[in-house]
Amino acid sequence: MTYACTLGFRRHVFGDLKTLLAKASPARSGDMLAGVAAASEEERMAARIVLADLPLARFLQEAVVPYEHDEVTRLILDGHDTAAFAPVAGLTVGEFRDWLLSDAAESASLQALAPGLTPEMVAAVSKLMRNQDLILVAAKCQVVTRFRNTLGLPGRLAVRLQPNHPTDDPRGIAASMLDGLLYGVGDAVIGINPATDSLPAITTLLRLIDDFREQYEVPTQSCVLTHVTNTLRAIDKGAPVDLVFQSIGGTEAVNRSFGVSAALLDEANAAALALGRGSVGNNVMYFETGQGSALSANAHHGADQQTLEARAYGLARRYQPLLVNTVVGFIGPEYLYDGKQIIRAGLEDHFCGKLLGLPMGCDICYTNHAEADQDDMDTLLTLLGVAGINFIIGVPGADDIMLNYQSTSFHDALYVRRVLDRRRAPEFEDWLERMGIADFRGNLLPQGEQQALLALAATL
Amino acid sequence: MSKPAILTPDPWQRLQGLTRARVALGRAGVSLPTREVLRFGTAHAQARDAVHQALDVASLQADLQDAGFASLAVSSQATDRSMYLRRPDRGRCLAAESLALLGDRGPSLWAPRPRLAVVLADGLSSLAVARHGLPLLQALQPYFPDLPGLPVIIASEARVALGDEIGQALGAGQVVVMIGERPGLSSPDSLGLYLTARPRPGLTDAQRNCISNVRPEGLNYPEAARKLAFLIAGALKLGRTGVDLKDDSDTALPDTARPAVGLGA
């Protein structure tokens, strides 16, 4: 099937669905690098006009990445829920945008629809949406997950405490962890990116957080973000593993480059579930994603990076994860060039993930070789706060001294709580009050001698 | 008259002694104090400058000359910084005139088929290679007395893989690319070392060995030189670099890490 339209004197033809989606995508450096972006602004609009008239059902007939060659495509199409799809089955992509914005789409109907949508449908409609549309629709979605606390409730925002250290020094990590907790951060997860993949080092870190969590009865979960095979080995050795972490992408080939497959993720998911460590729920997976990963692994099949990112969510939802984090600005300017592209991508990822039923968070971040700065992060943080994001990242002073990039700070989290009235996970909020870290409204209290965590800090 | 306290201090400053992370910053309401906004802004400005400042090739070449190293300067196909950042593929290919230069001038400077060629590349921080390039070469020299006779190439707008083409053009057995790493806020001048045996276009990172964070505050020159010498000697013996070549330099006996083998032709 070819896709075409005429604008003025010019006829625009798009060879297949993959090309149509790529050309309709908002401009970004990664699609230009891949050679799949629209060649002109007019061509981009022509692609959107054609896309708007395309029946949603077409996505069930034409795959962006071939079904025979790609297990992610097979998971998406084989797992499609026809009954859930029924309410929008007769719509075009343009009509679907209108429907999502209409009052017919509210929290319950969107939740029921999620299994009937494919990542490609969701990516397609996002390409017809302005930033405010992405925010408005995402804000209507509600995705609640649980392990030792409840994440994603309306009016709530959680933060991952990320106390990284360049040499995994336990005291250095503990210092950042205490700083974060005293700033009321850590309800999403206390999650460390280790500098090494050595099993003893990973086990040491897991025990460090777990011992602390048990001693102070912190209602949260911990994670050391190492490869899934290392986590499986750690589970095997009896280490205290709450969550299984893994980076994933939108094609079988990019996942192969990460050293993972659906079968391996199935195995890890089962192993973590069998531990039964959750107290209020058992969502045990933590995934990270980001636009551009498939291209950087030369595994993009000529598809645009935003569509492939949505396909990663298609894989993630198989596991009912506790957390899905799009690490939006980490990959660098050859994929997302500047603040404008990073902000747009962050909103797209959050929207697509939420519509597919995932508990989306975002590492609102940039590297020093991207054309971006703190002002851009403030903008994206505010927009995602309004859009109802489940969680963000908290790093001391926004400066990750291990991964060498800038994310959001503990102060940033306080800012977004203050201006948007977003509260922490209820169990964690109660704990902060019990510990005298925050008052019953969630405002931080001045600290002094009587603070138990300060006594602990004095012993480090 | 003393001013009323505006900031809420964090009475856990002692944690600052345990990590370089920005802990115990205090707050103005819920926000960062002015001094921290300025401190962060300054670090970001320095990291940005490190990315965008062009490498002063002439001055580096003069310093190398004074230290007894003959060098040639080449460029990738990325014609400016903006293209370099958007098109990593261009940064991996030599400009046509640079390829010709290696062919024309190389044979008059160095013996053919050297065992090792050194590439000093700007990468994402020209500051890193400008500061640490020559001192690192000098720290490496005790391990390889004939180092001054080996090719040293200064590469602008360069990615790691540019070394593959340079190494091939010189017929080098191994190439080490010393390149400015992605600058962090607290490390604008970190140098990365990538060693590749039998360099030729088309190799992947799995076929290289990497030593990162070389700078006085990170992995210092003597330590970095020791690790690199260990890998070079290991690659000579193994005949290849990459995942099969392990950096066991920390567990190796001190004198086995000093292979005083000649690396010249």
The per-residue pLDDT for A320 is 98
Per-residue confidence band for B164, with pLDDT thresholds at 50, 70 and 90: very high
Kindly report the pTM of this predicted structure. Answer: 0.92
pLDDT in tens, A417-444: 999 999 999 999 999 999 999 999 999 9
Give pLDDT, residue B264.
38
Largest CA distance in chain B: 77
Rounded-to-integer distance, Cα A298 and Cα A110, Å: 34
| Average pLDDT of the segment spanning A212-228 | 96
Q: Does residue B9 form part of some domain?
A: no
In this complex, do B51 and A446 lie within 8 Å of one another by their Cβ atoms?
A: no
CB contact A407 to B (< 8 Å): no
The total number of structural domains in chain B stands at: 1
Residue B127 lies in a domain: yes
Residue B178: inside a domain, yes or no? Answer: yes
Residue A424: per-residue pLDDT: 98
Distance CA A271, CA A263 (A): 12
Q: Mean of the pLDDT values across residues A392-408?
A: 96
The interface pTM score, or ipTM, of the predicted complex is 0.95
Task: Compute φ and ψ for A67, nearest 5 degrees.
Answer: -55, -40
pLDDT at B256 (0 to 100): 39
- pLDDT tens, A265-282? 999 999 999 999 999 999
Picking from A333, A368, A444, the nearest residue to B86 by CB comes out as A333
Q: Has residue B29 been placed in a domain? A: no
Q: B233 lies in a domain?
A: yes
Cβ–Cβ under 8 Å, residues A165 and A195: yes
Q: Work out whether the CA dihedral A423, A424, A425, A427 comes out positive or negative.
A: negative
Contacts of B29 in chain A (CB under 8 A): 418
Per-residue pLDDT reduced to its tens digit, A106-148: 999 999 999 999 999 999 999 999 999 999 999 999 999 999 9
CATH number, domain of B78, equals 3.40.50.11240
Task: Assess if residue B64 is contained within a domain.
Answer: yes
Q: Of the candidates A399, A454, A410, which has an alpha carbon nearest to the alpha carbon of residue A174?
A: A454
Q: What is the pLDDT of residue B252?
A: 55
Q: Which of B12, B43, B44 sits opposite A178 (nearest CB)?
A: B12
Q: Does position B1 have pLDDT exceeding 70, yes or no?
A: no
Distances (CA, A) of A86 to A80, A89, A109, B76: 11, 5, 12, 55
CB pairs under 8 A between A and B: 140
Q: Answer yes or no: are the C-beta atoms of A31 and A68 closer than 8 Å.
A: no
Cα–Cα distance measured from residue A18 to residue A27, given in angstroms and rounded to the nearest whole number: 16
Q: Where are the alpha helices (DSSP H) in A143-198?
A: 170-182
- In chain A, what are the helix, strand and coil shares in percent, each to the nearest 5? 50, 15, 40
- Contact list in B for residue A460 (CB cut-off 8 A) is 15, 18
Amino acid B251: pLDDT: 58
pLDDT digits 0-9 by tens, B183-219: 999 888 999 999 999 999 988 877 899 998 899 988 9
CB contact under 8 A, B23 and A401: no
Predicted pLDDT at A2: 83
Of B23, B85, B186, Cβ closest to residue A179: B23
Q: What is the C-alpha to C-alpha distance for residues A164 and A404, in angstroms, rounded to an integer?
A: 10
Note which residues in 3-42 of chain A have CB less than 8 A from chain B: 29, 32-33
The alpha-helical segments, DSSP class H, found in A117-165 are: 119-126, 131-140
The chain-wide mean pLDDT, for chain A, equals 97
Q: pLDDT digit string (tens) for A402-424?
A: 899 999 999 999 999 999 999 99
Q: Which residue has the higher pLDDT, A222 or B251?
A: A222
Nearest to A148 by CA among A176, A190, A90, A206: A190
Question: CA-to-CA distance for B56 and B62, rounded, in angstroms?
Answer: 10
pLDDT one-digit tens code per residue, A303-340: 999 999 999 999 999 999 999 999 999 999 999 999 99
- At what angle are helices A374-386 and A131-140 packed, to 10 degrees? 40
Q: Is residue B40 part of a domain?
A: no
B183 and A CB contact within 8 Å: yes
Give the pLDDT confidence score for residue B258 in this predicted structure.
Answer: 41
Report yes or no on B225 lying in a domain: yes
Q: Which domain holds residue B148?
A: 56-244
Q: What pLDDT digit, counting tens, does each position of B19-76 carry?
A: 999 999 999 999 999 999 999 999 999 999 989 999 999 999 999 999 999 999 999 9
pLDDT at B218: 86
